[in-house]
Structure 1
Amino acid sequence: MAENTEPQEELTQEPSVQTDNLENEQAEAVAAEEVPEMSAEEQLKIELAELKDKYLRLYADFENFRRRTSKEKLELLSSANAELMKTVLPVVDDFERAMQSFELTTEVEPLKEGVLLIYNKFYKALESKGLKPMESKGEVFDAELHESITQFPAPSEDLKGKVVDEIEKGYFLNEKVIRYAKVVVGA
């Protein structure tokens, strides 16, 4: 009986191998029938559709990038303002204390000294953030740094074309002009 079981196993294996081969052949035949030769026009249409899809995806990615960077810029500006405000708040506290002392003190000299100390503290806080005053008086007039309010006859020949008086100071913020100096120029 052991002899009979072995041949039966061989017989059962052979039909499954034959079935797999038939299925593969049929699948290949069906695939060959499903993919007819495409004309050049159809290939171009498919390629155009793929390129349009790529373009739309790229455009969407760019729009997302643009939105994200504009949002980051707004956040950066708000955080920069927060840093400046943190720097200025101690000066505001000093001004509040000075205003309270105005009500209690009758002497003017200590009040002047206190206001001068607060001014110096405020000025140093602004300098720490990159603010620098512009030196204009006696300098040659420069339209990129100065705004001429008026011309005045120069008291001497060497002051012609130079800044005679400074009406309003100009300022730099990290080497960039943020306010032009308003000046009187010698003519």
Structure 2
Amino acid sequence: MEEKDLEKNEQEEITEEIVNDAEQELVTEEEKEEQQSDNKEVQQLKDENDELQNRLLRVQAEYDNFRKRTKKEKEADLKYKSQSIVTELLPVLDNFERALQVEIEDKAAKGVVEGLEIVYRQLKTVLESEGVEAIETDGQIFDPTLHQAVIQVEEEGYESNQIVETMQKGYQLKGRVIRPAMVKVNQ
């Protein structure tokens, strides 16, 4: 009987080993499936994280660009804030210059002209302090960004496209043309 018991015990042990091995294989396969599922979830979360990081970077870049563009616009607005008033004052400046070109013999009228000259110089000083400059024309070569050709003539002593005469002064405000100079140009 002992032999039978021994044999039975051996069979039970073998059976138990086989069952344990099978259970371990099942647990291992379940763990593998679970791991694969976890790996898929982790990869999916990593992909979502990368996408969110990229979106965040794009939003930050857009915001920086917006901030820079807004700053430039504000600077330009401040730089050229006086353009509208300057544009309206240019005809006044032109009229002062025309009035001062008149030759007067009368002493009383000369006093008035001297007063006009003082007001003209003050107006010119104020405009210059705001960044207004007259566009150079005398002897210059015609530049369509600065000059407006009103008449073309053929005169000796001038090169082709050289300005012969200024019909109306042109002005720039801090480098921006606010009124081109009207000129007579040699062909």
Partner of 2:147: 146
Partner of 1:122: 123
Where 2:152 maps in the other structure, the secondary structure is: strand
Work out the CA distance in 1 between the residues paired with 2:169 and 2:152. Answer: 17
List aligned pairs for 1:14-163, cutoff 5 A: 36-38=34-36, 41-80=40-79, 84=82, 108-154=109-155, 156=156, 158-161=157-160, 162-163=162-163
Aligned residues: 131
In the alignment, structure 1 residue 167 sits paired with structure 2 residue 167: yes
Where 1:185 maps in the other structure, the secondary structure is: strand
Work out the CA distance in 2 between the residues paired with 1:172 and 1:79. Answer: 16
Partner of 1:104: none
TM-score by length of 2: 0.52
Q: How many percent of aligned residue pairs carry the same amino acid?
A: 25
Partner of 1:27: none
Deviation of 1:51 after TM superposition, in Å, equals: 1.6
Work out the CA distance in 2 between the residues paired with 1:108 and 1:68. Answer: 58
Give the partner amino acid of 1:141.
F
TM-score by length of 1: 0.52
Answer 1 or 2: higher relative contact order, Cα 8 Å, separation at least 6: 2
Where 2:35 maps in the other structure, the secondary structure is: coil
Partner of 1:186: 186
Structure 1 gap segments, 5+ residues each: 1-32, 92-106
Structure 2 gap segments, 5+ residues each: 1-30, 90-107
Deviations 1:43-86 (A, max 9, x none): 4422221122112222332343344334434543454466x59x
Q: Per the alignment, do residues 41 and 181 of structure 1 end up closer, same or farther by CA in structure 2, a change over 3 Å counting?
A: farther
Give the partner amino acid of 1:134.
I
Q: Per the alignment, do residues 131 and 38 of structure 1 end up closer, same or farther by CA in structure 2, a change over 3 Å counting?
A: farther
Larger Rg over CA atoms: 2
Q: Per the alignment, do residues 130 and 185 of structure 1 end up closer, same or farther by CA in structure 2, a change over 3 Å counting?
A: same
Tell which deviates more after alignment, 40-49 or 159-168: 40-49
Q: Per the alignment, do residues 67 and 124 of structure 1 end up closer, same or farther by CA in structure 2, a change over 3 Å counting?
A: same
Deviation of 1:133 after TM superposition, in Å, equals: 1.7
Q: Per the alignment, do residues 147 and 79 of structure 1 end up closer, same or farther by CA in structure 2, a change over 3 Å counting?
A: closer
Q: Per the alignment, do residues 74 and 111 of structure 1 end up closer, same or farther by CA in structure 2, a change over 3 Å counting?
A: farther
Work out the CA distance in 2 between the residues paired with 1:130 and 1:65. Answer: 31
Where 2:61 maps in the other structure, the secondary structure is: helix
Where 2:148 maps in the other structure, the secondary structure is: strand
